[in-house]
Structure 1
Amino acid sequence: MKRLARDEGGNVLPLFAAGIFPLIALVGGAMDISIAYMARSKLQKACDAGVLAGRQSMTGTQFGDSEKDQAKKFFDFNFPNGLYNTKNLKFNVAQNSSAASELKGTASADVPTSLMRVFDYTEISISVSCNAKKDLGHNDIVMVLDVTGSMNDNPSTGGGSKISKLRTGASGLYRALEANDGSTTRYGIVPYSHTVNVGRSLRNRDIVVEQQYVDGYFYQNRGRTYFANNGLKTVHINQSSWNIGNGGGNSGGNRQGFRTSGDACIEERASNGYSSNPIEYADTVSLEDVDGVPANGNDSAMQFGRYDPGVQNGHTQDGCPSEATTLREYANETAFNNAISNATARVTGGTYHDIGMLWGLRFISRNGFFASDNPETRGQYPVNQHIVFMTDGKLDTGPSLYSAYGVDWLTDRMQGSGTQTQKHVNRFESICTLAKSMKVTVWVIALDVTNVDDIKKCATSDSHFHTSDGSDLEEIFETIGRGIGNLRLTE
């Protein structure tokens, strides 16, 4: 018995038997907890994706079944049922009762254990919460809208003219941004064709008094039409179509009468650094071209001309779109829709993208003509700037069309290389590049356009470019509205 008591042989077996259960607990617990941790991390990402998708799909602060379905779809995609062998998977999302612009979500599941079952721990419960909202921020949006003659045509899908679809579809943008959360959204509207009607938004000193126009007349010879070009003539504003005296002379008409006539379309001023007599335009646009203002009422090089078909000779087509409006708030959707209808009332002329985009940028610039009305912040919150540019066609510069750049075939004001149309394309692209360098987000809608090469690159990115056949225009405006603002997670 004494020898047996001193014998140490065979002791490993009982020691192993005694230590196997703590070892199983240690290894099994680590493995099961590791799996549960990975499952919880994946569940959190799925919850975040769900509330972000739900919030992104909301129009304004409206949250219903379709938005819930969108949130659920993104949650299910990121955490499929049965992932990590989970059971009792649940996801719930709802609007925050105290902040309608915020969504709150919760997700939970049970992760089965493996080795820990030995100790009667069959599952580990995991749960997460997630919130998403759009930051309180203010938005300034200038809508640059094509109102050229082709907008009276029906799109390829039919169902009414393109201009009628624009008038009803633009409301989608307003609805998507309508929110009672303390933020402010302002809209400017620039209808454009071959010129823009912006005189009412300017000051008297911004309009030139003595202006050069083409002098001459058309005549027939052997069945063909010719133009007798007598060069340029200088017309004082008193002799313009807005002369209150209606007969010339040096009294009666004035800049105020022109600006408030309702027909105050403009001829664009000369490019910075180029001749202003006669006028010359560069095929690129500089910051000074956008923001430079006349020093006084006699600074003719920095002033805009009067678009006056009554005194301009040598053209076969003209027209003045409806008045543009600078950035302002609208009390409700009806007021916004009325503004769109008024801005698109006149559908006429050729397609000069560059003049529309240039004035859209002037309206939203934080320097220049409207600097005092375009602050960087309101209160402590930033003001985000956007241009929504919509057109139904390629840039089209008819040679005998009287545009904001004069009568091309007679005045030849555009400088640069290539065709007249290519010069204007270059100018348009230059304005788009300048807008993006000024941190203005540019959205582009191509309405029933087959060739988008000239306009797609104007957008800030591919995700800011949209095409429409006319039937989905309202949905596209809503999509743009949902994309404006800063969407973020709050938990």
Structure 2
Amino acid sequence: MKKNLETKSLTGVLSRLCKDEAGNTIAIMAAAVIPVIGLVGGSVDMSRIYLTQSRLQSACDAGALMGRKVMAGGAWADNSGLANTKAVQAFTANFENGAYGTGAVTKSFTELGGKVTGTASVPIPMTLMKALGQNQRTIRVNCSAEMRIPNSDVMFVLDTTGSMDSAANGESVSSSNPAKITELRIATKCFYEILTQKNITDVTKEQCDQTTDPSETSSNTSQIRFGFVPYSINVNVGRLLPLDYMANTWFYQTRRANFSDATGYDYTLGEPSELTQVGAPTVNDTTGVWDYMSNSITVDGTKYLKTVEVKKAPLDCTTISAPPDQSSGPTTDGPYVTNSPTPVHPTASITVDYELTVTSGAVKYRYVPDKTDVTKNKKCYLQRKTDSSVTTTQYTATRPVTWTPRRTFNDWTYDRIELNVAGLKNSANNSWNSSLQVPIGANGTNSTINWDGCILERETQKNVSTWDTSNTSAQKDMAIDLIPDASNPATLWGPRLKDVLYAREDSSGNWTLDPVTTTDNFGRPTSGNTTTACPSPAKLLNVWSPTDYKNYINGLTTDGYTFHDIGMLWGARLISPTGIFATHNAVANDNVQRHLIFMTDGDTNANPDALSAYNVPWFDRLQTDGNPSTSDLNTLTDARTAALCTAIKNMNISLWVVSYGEDVNSTTNERLEACASPGKFFAYDPNVSLTEQFKQIAGKIAALRLTT
């Protein structure tokens, strides 16, 4: 009854409310407040959540990045966990406790296999969302950072002139004040360790200013290639070139023998044709004679006595084990000439007889009694004999005859003479020979001329002050990417052959450009290694093992004057993706960063009497019309170097320049700084080692990338 009354009462109230329109607005508004609060509160709180999550992720990323950067090539726990400390500091700098009304932040960083991983979380108290029962949300983020170096090609152009044997500060070389070449070796090795994370055994972590030696990890998946162009007067690049990139003839300051004709001819025999067998082979078998052994012998670890006593009669020596038979051969002897008739002019060929023998042998052993009366003899004696079989085969072959008129040596003509240098090409093996024969020996005989691999540059222009590396019609030597054309000698290179060179003098004993015919033997236009230096061989871009890299760097030699342009020119050629080594340098989708590191310790020093890439400038004058002075060549070299610097930077190659040593003057340093890409020049600082400068370069090349 009570329930019915309550129902009727509620119904009445609602009925009255429905009829009373004046109060409806208030009731509707009251009913709508709760969903409006939910909508507005949700929007406000969700904005806080997104903002907080974004900032928390950024802070986590910053911490992981900083931790990996501080760790570098060492371990996470080095320096009392400095990497972790810096990671936390970087996080806190980007997200402080209580930011955006959040609660206490939880964060942690760990490292595994060179990869730093971080996690962070923070609670966010809700504001208006509490009206819907949402009191708090927790935001969680993850982050990671690893040293992932981009695919990189690094070409070192290294000054290896004689001054590299001195100390950078100009004082005496000692264990505490090493030569610049010693510092260069350490610096380039530390550079390698930073980029590859591979350890070179003869450089210490202290020398590289590291806390630990590098340890390669599975995350090091980038391709890092290194190339080298050591330079001084010249560059040693000849054996890197295809055979048809080198000319077959070249002009040298040398001499030519002059002869007068004599009666008769001399002949030389060429290589024999394929041997033709004559008749059937003959076999000569020889049976040896049994001889008594004077000593006991050991065969295959078993000793056999020369005399064996037998106590039982009758004596039977055949029961005693003798050494096993031993075979020898077959041994081939020949074919050798048995008959070679003297050719009569003008016979073009002769038939030569040959013989070839094949010898086989067998050594046999036995024990025998010394006397025929075996009933009294109690001893057996060791005997040996040698049997042999010789098979002899006769052959013939044809040999070509070359006739040369007999001549009498008269005198020499000294001049700029074209020589045939094709003998350096081993076409059969597609390789280079180390020497060739040139008829400049005594009385015009052939002399062996060695080739060390240095080259002579192709055609160039004279008396040029402005150089254009794209001018392939006139400035072919400066055209970095010009592909040689075997049919156009002006596009080819020549071998530098210091031992064919001769100076020539006038009647007053002074050098002259005029041809001189005389019986005198003039000397060389250059003297000593300084004027004829050929640096260590250059190397194309390749992935190097630590051992190969170490051995190459340790083998760098030093000597010669300073011609910066030839080093820069070939450094550009060896790294160019579009030039003569384009196929070798190719990378899929060209996904590679290219760097050229040019290091020098001195000013340009282009001696006109030195054997450079343009032969001897005083005599050959390939770059100037008149007699070039050192000042002229220095100015020319500096202008060419500057043009090459610009060209390299226009090839999308980062050009790093390091000037190391107090002897480099301010004008040179200004040129070197202009040569470098912006921000990539390092001047000598007595308080900063060459290793530290190279480490700075390596650190910038080794870009740190975030991964999530």
TM-score, length basis structure 1: 0.74
| Alignment RMSD | 4.5
- Structure in which a larger fraction of residues adopt strand: 2
Q: Which moved more, 1:189-198 or 1:145-154?
A: 145-154
Separation in structure 1 between the aligned mates of residue 240 and residue 420 of structure 2, nearest angstrom: 19
Number of the residue aligned with 2:55: 42
Provide Cα deviations, 1:35-89, integer angstroms capped at 9, x if missing partner: 3322322222233334344455665696554554554454444335554454433
Number of the residue aligned with 1:236: 419
Separation in structure 2 between the aligned mates of residue 156 and residue 126 of structure 1, nearest angstrom: 58
Provide Cα deviations, 1:175-194, integer angstroms capped at 9, x if missing partner: 12325444433321111123
Separation in structure 1 between the aligned mates of residue 118 and residue 624 of structure 2, nearest angstrom: 59
Answer yes or no: is 1:174 the counterpart of 2:174.
Answer: no
Matches within 5 A, 1:53-132: 53-55=66-68, 59=72, 65=81, 67-69=83-85, 71-80=87-96, 83-84=99-100, 86-95=102-111, 100=113, 102-111=115-124, 124-132=137-145
Q: Is the 8 A contact 1:198 1:264 kept in 2?
A: yes
* Residue 164 of structure 1: how far off its partner (Å): 0.9
Q: 1:326 aligns with which of 529, 532, 540?
A: 540
Matches within 5 A, 1:141-160: 141-156=154-169, 159-160=177-178
Q: Which moved more, 1:241-250 or 1:153-162?
A: 241-250
Give SS of 1:439's match: coil
Q: Is the 8 A contact 1:376 1:382 kept in 2?
A: yes
Matches within 5 A, 1:127-276: 127-133=140-146, 138-156=151-169, 159-178=177-196, 179=216, 180=218, 181-208=220-247, 209-213=249-253, 233-234=416-417, 236=419, 247=441, 249=444, 251-253=446-448, 257-258=450-451, 263-271=452-460, 274=461
Number of the residue aligned with 2:613: 404
* Residue 124 of structure 1: how far off its partner (Å): 4.1
* Residue 373 of structure 1: how far off its partner (Å): 2.0
| CA pair 54-400 structure 1, distance change in 2 beyond 3 A | farther
Provide Cα deviations, 1:442-463, integer angstroms capped at 9, x if missing partner: 333333467432223433442x
Q: Which entry has the higher C-alpha Rg, 1 or 2? A: 2
Provide Cα deviations, 1:452-475, integer angstroms capped at 9, x if missing partner: 32223433442x444564744334
* Residue 359 of structure 1: how far off its partner (Å): 0.9
* Residue 341 of structure 1: how far off its partner (Å): 1.6
Number of the residue aligned with 1:388: 597
| CA pair 189-125 structure 1, distance change in 2 beyond 3 A | same
Separation in structure 2 between the aligned mates of residue 174 and residue 111 of structure 1, nearest angstrom: 48
Separation in structure 1 between the aligned mates of residue 419 and residue 71 of structure 2, nearest angstrom: 55
Q: Among the aligned pairs, what percent are the same residue? A: 32
Q: 1:456 aligns with which of 664, 667, 673?
A: 673
* Residue 337 of structure 1: how far off its partner (Å): 1.8
* Structure 1: runs of 5 or more not aligned: 216-229
Answer yes or no: is 1:484 the counterpart of 2:678.
Answer: no
Matches within 5 A, 1:275-354: 283-286=467-470, 288=472, 289-296=479-486, 299=489, 301-306=491-496, 308=498, 311=501, 318=531, 319-332=533-546, 334-343=547-556, 345-346=557-558, 348-354=559-565
Separation in structure 1 between the aligned mates of residue 464 and residue 605 of structure 2, nearest angstrom: 20
Matches within 5 A, 1:20-39: 26-39=39-52
* Residue 428 of structure 1: how far off its partner (Å): 1.9
AA aligned opposite 1:196: V
Give SS of 2:104's match: strand
Separation in structure 2 between the aligned mates of residue 47 and residue 8 of structure 1, nearest angstrom: 59
Separation in structure 2 between the aligned mates of residue 74 and residue 309 of structure 1, nearest angstrom: 65
Q: 1:423 aligns with which of 602, 625, 636?
A: 636
Separation in structure 1 between the aligned mates of residue 97 and residue 682 of structure 2, nearest angstrom: 35
- Structure in which a larger fraction of residues adopt helix: 1
Separation in structure 2 between the aligned mates of residue 22 and residue 298 of structure 1, nearest angstrom: 88
| CA pair 391-36 structure 1, distance change in 2 beyond 3 A | farther
Separation in structure 1 between the aligned mates of residue 484 and residue 32 of structure 2, nearest angstrom: 91
Q: Is the 8 A contact 2:253 2:619 kept in 1?
A: no
Give SS of 2:675's match: coil
Q: Which moved more, 1:188-197 or 1:234-243?
A: 234-243
Separation in structure 1 between the aligned mates of residue 416 and residue 549 of structure 2, nearest angstrom: 43
Separation in structure 1 between the aligned mates of residue 132 and residue 616 of structure 2, nearest angstrom: 91
| CA pair 162-84 structure 1, distance change in 2 beyond 3 A | farther
Equivalenced residues, count: 455
Q: Which moved more, 1:104-113 or 1:242-251?
A: 242-251
* Residue 357 of structure 1: how far off its partner (Å): 1.4
